């Protein structure tokens, strides 16, 4: 579990750029760091209830960080660093179905840097972690905007399998109101196709759901992964 201290409730006002949000806290508009460069257009709506962590140390550009937001009565964590921290503990503690001998963060492979590398029984494995904040009808979808970087990671994982290593991509849904995961075919068909191809090449595609409160987040259960092509529903 990850816990955040000194968290206050506020009201989202605007997002002047991808790094800064204006939030009303105790009746005053405050500049808050946004720890997530995704679009978050479905979440950061004017008037939305949000929670921000206060930073009292001197020298910071902003005194607050936007941690979570309420959507349809549920809380969504926005911290893009949280999925990697949660995934490290998840892999270390046997979430992949075995207890690895070692786990290391931020490990290079080829010309890419993957989030996790582990050793088990003398064999190396790699895990790339993707945080998911987009919920469409109870389905966690990634990405919320086209990502060339994500496609590069999928290629690196595929190359790792070809080299005889284990490899997995782990999608961490930063919410508890979803029941399955799907790639976001409409918004990034290239990534979705790359994910399907990676799975066919032997890359494990995994997803987990998290329990989220305004100041905590913890992995709970695996999610069903659906890689079938997206089809527009008929009215």
pLDDT, tens digit, 9 for 90 and up, residues 52-95: 999 988 777 789 999 999 999 999 999 999 999 999 999 999 99
Q: What is the percent of the chain with per-residue pLDDT over 70, rounded to a whole number?
A: 97
pLDDT at 24: 97
**Element counts in the chain: helices (H) and strands (E):** 3, 17
Average pLDDT over residues 13-23: 96
Cβ pair 68, 50 in contact under 8 A: yes
What's the pTM value of the predicted model, to 2 decimals? Answer: 0.94
pLDDT at 10: 97
d(CA 136, CA 182) in angstroms, rounded, equals 10
**Which segments of the chain does DSSP mark as H helices, in order?**
82-92, 148-162, 189-200
Residues near 125 by beta carbon (within 8 Å), at least 6 away in sequence: 96, 100, 117, 118, 119, 165, 166, 167, 168
- Of the pLDDT bands very low, low, confident and very high (cuts 50, 70, 90), residue 230 is low
Average pLDDT over residues 150-176: 97
Does 235 score more than 60 pLDDT?
no
Angle between helices 148-162 and 189-200 (to 10 degrees): 10
d(CA 220, CA 31) in angstroms, rounded, equals 32
Domains of the chain: 2-72 (2.40.50.580), 82-225 (3.40.1350.60)
Residues near 2 by beta carbon (within 8 Å), at least 6 away in sequence: 79, 82, 85, 86, 216, 217, 218
- Of the pLDDT bands very low, low, confident and very high (cuts 50, 70, 90), residue 234 is very low
d(CA 25, CA 22) in angstroms, rounded, equals 9
Q: Which string of DSSP letters, residue by residue, matches 139-159?
A: EEEE-SS--HHHHHHHHHHHH
Does 232 score more than 80 pLDDT?
no
Phi, psi of 90 (to 5 degrees): -60, -45
Q: What is the percent of the chain with per-residue pLDDT over 90, rounded to a whole number?
A: 91
Average pLDDT over residues 185-201: 96
User: What does DSSP say about strands 166-173 and 123-132: parallel, antiparallel, or unpaired?
Assistant: parallel
d(CA 189, CA 194) in angstroms, rounded, equals 8
pLDDT at 231: 55
Average pLDDT over residues 166-178: 98
d(CA 134, CA 144) in angstroms, rounded, equals 6
């Amino acid at each position: 579990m990850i816990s955040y201290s000194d968290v206050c409730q506020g009201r989202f006002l605007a997002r002047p750029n991808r790094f800064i949000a204006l939030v009303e806290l105790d009746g005053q508009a405050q500049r808050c760091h946004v720890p997530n460069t995704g679009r978050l257009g479905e979440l950061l709506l004017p008037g939305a209830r949000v929670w921000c962590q206060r930073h009292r140390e001197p020298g910071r550009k902003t005194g607050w960080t936007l941690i979570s937001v309420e959507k349809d009565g549920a809380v969504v964590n926005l911290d893009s660093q949280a999925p990697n921290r949660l995934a490290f503990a998840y892999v270390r503690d046997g979430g992949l179905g075995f207890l690895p001998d070692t786990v290391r963060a931020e490990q290079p492979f080829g010309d890419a840097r993957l989030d996790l590398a582990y050793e088990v029984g003398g064999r190396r494995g790699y895990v790339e972690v993707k945080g998911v904040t987009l919920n469409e009808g109870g389905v966690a979808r990634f990405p919320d905007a086209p990502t060339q970087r994500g496609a590069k990671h999928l290629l690196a994982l595929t190359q790792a399998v070809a080299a005889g290593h284990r490899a997995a991509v782990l999608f961490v849904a930063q919410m508890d109101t979803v029941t399955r995961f799907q790639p976001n075919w409409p918004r990034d068909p290239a990534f979705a196709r790359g994910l399907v191809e990676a799975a066919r090449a032997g890359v494990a595609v995994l997803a987990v759901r998290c329990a989220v409160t305004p100041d905590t987040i913890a992995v709970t259960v695996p999610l069903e992964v659906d890689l079938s092509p997206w089809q527009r529903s008929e009215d």
